[in-house]
Structure 1
Amino acid sequence: MDFKALSIAIILSFAACSGSNNSDKTIEASVKEEKTENEYVGYLRVDLDMIMLYSKSVSIHNLDKSIYAEITGDTLSVNGVKYNLIEDRRDILKRHIDSYSFYPDYKVFILECDGVVSDFYKVRVKGGYKFIPIDNKHVKFETLEDFVLSSIPDVGNPSPLRKEPNDDSEILIGHEEFVYKSDKIQGDWLHVVCDIEYLECSPNLESGWVKWRDSTGLILRLAQTY
């Protein structure tokens, strides 16, 4: 509706104008909601260390908002059945919580996040979708870039350490023997530095670049810690 048409609508009918405004507001809110959902595509880290140490909780909900499972302290509850995150076998636990990375004995619980719906993160569990409340302070959303930076890069095939951030740059021989940590992202390339807490690197292997994504998506293997 252009300005002239809108002016005529105001003169002819105040009620019609109000309806138009309400419609515009609805469309605007819908666009904002869609944008917000798209911004929350990445990964969700659950702080199992804090939950298990201080008996905190995180709940996982079905799409109808009913509770599917709950973790409180070191106990996983699913449909009234309780499992111990440390004592019970990992394969048994993963029958119920099959996510991107779930290793409760190492305090690692990461889920792929495909957006937000109302007050919930929409996450992938067991090949489908579940909800986790946004207001739970023991979960943290990370974009793909943030997730790469907070993970431990597995430097090597298919992402060898190079001197410069391009596919034609020299490969730094011998980097497989050392552990690196993420430093910064430059386009499709990740700058890494030697993690001297594990082992001091040789002078020519103290830092370099690895390709973390290509046209197919993430190609760099990532390890996790807590």
Structure 2
Amino acid sequence: MTAPAATRRLTTLGPIAQLRAGRLPRRLSQLYIGLVLYGASLALMVRGDLGLSPWDVFHSGLIRHIPLTLGQAVVVMSFVVLLAWIPLREKPGLGTISNAIVIGLAADGVLAILDRPDALYARIGLLVAGVLLNGVATAAYIGSQFGRGPRDGLMIGLHRVTGRSIRLVRTLMEIAVVLAGLALGGVLGVGTVLYALAIGPLSQLMLPWFTVALPGEDATEPEPQRN
């Protein structure tokens, strides 16, 4: 019998245990659909042109100086962040590597077919849709129980090593990437504030709906964050 959504919890599994935990068709489908939707949500915010998420402020600044698309910058920086996992002794899983690759490819795919609208109301609609879709996508890929994304792992690793709260570590990380992005000429706007305020509550609300129950595992529920 499937556990009620309200009682499902995330489990902390190693890379091999993630694959052995069962329910692979459901979990793999949810993982990759979630990651594709995550990339699409980034593209919607880009075309809304009213501000990007903190990490994408940095990515948008980076591509002003390096010949990369936004999606390629997401992929490259994901693997750069994974290098920081080594001294933190974090272990990547299937979800980690998939996150690093699929989100950027999906973002570029949607950007290739979606233009920036001229009307302000349409741009606001794209921004709001992007933030909402990002919340759904975050809950879906985290709930598939295939591990943390590169940036989540960095945050958790720093939390563990420094003893500081997850909230503080996340805040300092996002302030740092926004400042770096602005220095590089990245895009900051009202959408950045909306994303920062909304994504945590949205993910928290939706995570129980998407978390796949894995019987027999000890339940822990870390705070859901971005890839």
How does the TM-score come out when normalised to structure 1?
0.28
Structure showing the higher strand proportion among its residues: 1
Structure showing the higher helix proportion among its residues: 2
How does the TM-score come out when normalised to structure 2?
0.27
* Larger gyration radius, structure 1 or structure 2: 1
Greater relative CO (CA pairs within 8 A, separation 6+): 2
